[in-house]
Each structure stands twice: as structure tokens, then as C-alpha cells.
Amino acid sequence: MVRLFFKIFRVAVVVAALVALFVQYKYKDEYLAYKQHAVPYLMYHSIGVVPGWDKDVCIPEQLFAQHLQYFSEHGYQVITAAEARRKLLAGEDVAKNVVLTFDDGYNNNYTVAYPLLQKYGYHATFFVIGNSVGGPDYMTYEQLQEMHAHGMEIGSHTMSHDPLNIIATGYLPWEIYQPINLLRQHLGFYIEGIAYPNGAYNQAVLAEIHKYPFIKYALTGKAGCNTAKIVRETPLELRRMGIYDNGNGITGLERRLEKAYLVGFLESKGVPTDWLYKLTVPKI
Ligand SMILES: [Zn+2]
């Protein structure tokens, strides 16, 4: 069974590599042009490995520092989701712009990620859970205020972190509005972005969010990049790429970036991309 899995996995890697190479050569100019106006949004969680925590949500501090070094050396601008949205809508140059987002509001986002981001003059977006702010292992409102004062964006990751698609409609206002109202009390204004827990949402969720015009965008777990078209037409269904430590060091980040661009490009050409999302895309 395990051997069969690895066999299928190897085939999948080869298929993805072939797709990537095919796109690069057949559509090279178009692909490069697409990259000039598409912005990958990357999703981090814990920066630092915490014993007992799901390894999937932890990026070691050293590796995160390498990520920032990589962005710096390769000429990327690291910006918030709100800034990317503004630039895309204004038609500004977004070539080599990348958005860093952090979900759940872990304390190490403040103690580890925030100082490292500041070292490079980078800004990022932090989505916090209403019920967790100020709890053990989580950031406090005072820390969020400080980060915001230094250019970081704060967003909402709902009240309870339960996937919104399984929440009874009657509880949606509590899940969506309550954490934003709490942030307003502490920050002094309405935040403008939401990240769906597990990337999950449905029509009832979209209808609920439409009641609050100050909510400008929401992030799903759908792979790809965001473009002016996507931000304008489906602002509550923006794309985002999860970043995990798969043991490949900086190559892992390069692959995820390439995958975000590649999936976004294929999607822009009308190709169904759900199948590709499951495959590992090499750097090309
Ligand atoms: Zn989360």
C-alpha cells in the first residue's frame, strides 16, 4: 500500500514537472507577462516549532529567516494583503510583489516573525481568532496595536475558528462580525480582511459578509495568484498558497511560489486547476 502510494506520488511529480515545463516553453511569453501582474499570497501559521503542535502549522525560525533573505536577494517586495489589493485595483506595478499572511495569531508571530519582518522593512497581514486573542500562546490586543502602528495589517480569522461552511446561519453574524467589532474597539477602526478557517465558505457566508461593507476582501484556500480581475470580481474568494516545512529548505518555498504562479496562469487561461493543486510543482 505504502509502495503504491510512493509510486503514484512519483508519477504525480513527473506529471507536474512535465506540465510546468510544457507551460514554460509553449506559453513562455504569456506566462512571464502573467507573472508581471499577478500576486501570490502566502499563508504561514506558527513561526517556530512548538512541541506537540501539528508540524504542518510550524515553520522553523531559521527557515523563515531564510525565506525573508530569499525575498530580499531576489528583489521581491513583501506587502500586506490590503496593500496588494490597493495596488491591483489602482493598476500599479505588482511585478515581484508577494503577500505574507499569518493565520491564527500565535504569540511567536509577535516575538519571532514581527522582528524579522521589521529587519527587512517588510509588512505582512496577521489574521487573529476572536476567542483566542490574549490567551496562552496567542498575541494580545496590545501587541496587535503595536504591530499595526508599525505597518502590519491585522485581519480576522473568525471568532471560534470553526469552518464557516458548517456553522448554522444564525451564528454567522457572531462568527463574522463579533471579532471585527472587538478589533475595532482595540484598534480604533474596522479591519478590512478575513481569512476563512480551513479556507471554507459557502453562499450563506458570502451573503453574510456582504452585509458589512467595510469588509473588502476574504482569503480562501484555493491555490493560485490574485490579479486585478480576481480582486475586482470575486473579492471574497481570493487565492492563497499554504507554506509548510516539507524538509526541502528554500527549494520548498521556490516550488510553492512557482506553483502559485503556474496554477494562477492556467486558471487565467480557463484550465481547471483543482487536479494540479494536488501535485508538486518544481521550480522552473
Ligand atoms: Zn487557522
Cα separation values, 154 from 108, 126, 180, Å: 15, 5, 10
Distance 137 CA to ligand 1 centre (A): 14
pLDDT tens, position by position, 151-189: 999 999 999 999 999 999 999 999 999 999 999 999 999
The predicted structure's pLDDT at residue 37: 97
22 C-alpha to ligand 1 centroid (Å): 35
4-59 confidence digits (pLDDT tens):
665 666 666 677 777 777 877 788 899 999 999 999 999 999 998 888 888 778 99
Euclidean distance between CA atoms 74 and 77, whole angstroms: 9
37-245: CATH number: 3.20.20.370
Q: Cell digits for 76?
A: 521581491
176 touches 208 (CB < 8 A)? yes
Residue 132 Cα to ligand 1 midpoint, Å, equals: 11
For the chain, what's the residue count? 284
Q: How far is the CA of 133 from the centre of ligand 1 (A)?
A: 13
Ion ligand 1: residues, CB within 5 A, are: 103-104, 197
Q: Where are the domains of the chain?
A: 37-245
Q: What is the pLDDT of residue 22?
A: 80
pLDDT digits (tens, 9 = 90+) for 114-152: 999 999 999 999 999 999 999 999 999 999 999 999 999
Q: Which element (helix H / strand E) includes 104?
A: strand 97-104
